[in-house]
Amino acid sequence: MSSEVVPPSTLLPDVSSSPRALRSYLHGLPGVDAVGLEARAAALGTRSIKTTAKAYAIDLAISMIDLTTLEGADTAGKVRALCAKGVRPDPADRSVPPVAAICVYGDMVAVAKEAVAAAGGTDVHVAAVATAFPSGRAARSVKLADTAEAVAAGADEIDMVIDRGAFLSGRYLDVFEEIQAVKAACTREDGSRAHLKVIFENGELSTYDNIRRCSWLAMLAGADFIKTSTGKVGVNATPANTLVMLEAVRDFRRATGVQIGVKPAGGIRTAKDAVKYLVMVNETLGDDWLSPEWFRFGASSLLNDLLMQRQKLSTGRYSGPDYVTVD
């Protein structure tokens, strides 16, 4: 993926010039009415996606998955199995596209790179969570080292978490600068750069207004992707909080010409859910975002449900868990 993000200073030069300037910019964004937002997300969720549209959506969703394992119990064996699954989701059906990326902790990056390559997944990326994921509570030097090591190990993408404590206490510029610093740490020796996804942890930001502000903050600081959540707290991606972020990337491109990706993560388990998200992308952002380059699902169990639905569509029979692999 290219790193075409223009330095934020050239986008909106004054915004990050001082804590006060950033604060007043973010607080000057239009508010979000929670009830109206949720009603819109729910209404889009009633779209009826059938036959050809469903087939398209299922394959698109598969190709957008960041197939994820982020457990304390992760081992090389587990990661290898996941990589094989990501590269070839349905061993019985070669027409199934590979997922977009395998998402692991930093220490598993090397294993994952090797396993993906071994499975022949030339297009499947390896993403690493970094910056003291999931809490983000560590010294900045630790977070930067965390990032740099994952990049050095070959990570194509870095999923960082923001300092929610700083955000909630109003220290927006600290968050902004940390994102910039992590982005700098994403640069490889050859000058190329790992793709940076910035995780907000929407459940902790708590309000839609905060999510919109955080979206703009992250985009201005240079995020390539904005991501809803770690999957480790009570509230993860929801249609409504993802919709706020979709609106933010839409408005950001209108304001700056720069396109940013969105990744809802956590809690998206069924094909039906995934299709609802794709409908939101389709009707909020349109064709330009309907590719793995600009939209991802952070998920693990979602893939198997998509595969079962895919089998149902192609055979006309309902499938079952014995007909998809457990990895």
Which chain residues interact with other proteins by CB under 8 A?
30-40, 46-54, 56-57, 60, 206-208, 247, 254, 278-279, 282-283, 286-287, 290
Q: How far is CA 239 from CA 43, 46, 272, in A?
A: 10, 12, 12
Rounded Cα–Cα distance for residues 185 and 150 (Å): 10
Token code pair at residue 157: 């993408």
CB of 112 to other proteins, least distance (A): 30
Out of 66, 90, 159, 163, the active site residue is: 159
Token code pair at residue 119: 């499975």
Rounded Cα–Cα distance for residues 206 and 223 (Å): 21
CA 42 to chain CA mean position, Å: 21
Whether residue 37 contacts residue 243, with contact meaning beta carbons closer than 8 Å, is answered with yes
219 vs 279 by CB, closer to other proteins = 279
* Annotated catalytic residue 113: no
Whether residue 117 contacts residue 154, with contact meaning beta carbons closer than 8 Å, is answered with no
35 vs 139 by CB, closer to other proteins = 35
CB of 187 to other proteins, least distance (A): 33
CB of 272 to other proteins, least distance (A): 14
CB of 85 to other proteins, least distance (A): 26
Out of 85, 143, 183, 227, the active site residue is: 227
10 vs 48 by CB, closer to other proteins = 48
CB of 246 to other proteins, least distance (A): 10
40 vs 143 by CB, closer to other proteins = 40
Whether residue 192 contacts residue 155, with contact meaning beta carbons closer than 8 Å, is answered with no
47 vs 269 by CB, closer to other proteins = 47
Burial of 74 per CB tally in 10 Å (0-12, 13-18, 19+):
middle
User: Considering just the CA atoms, what is the radius of gyration of the chain in Å?
Assistant: 19
Which of 266, 257, 263 has the alpha carbon at shortest distance from 294? 263
CB of 65 to other proteins, least distance (A): 17
* Annotated catalytic residue 159: yes
Tokens 């910019």 belong to 25
* Annotated catalytic residue 263: yes
105 vs 252 by CB, closer to other proteins = 252
Out of 113, 183, 263, 276, the active site residue is: 263
Which of 255, 271, 308, 243 has the alpha carbon at shortest distance from 89? 308
Whether residue 205 contacts residue 238, with contact meaning beta carbons closer than 8 Å, is answered with no
**Catalytic site positions:** 159, 227, 263
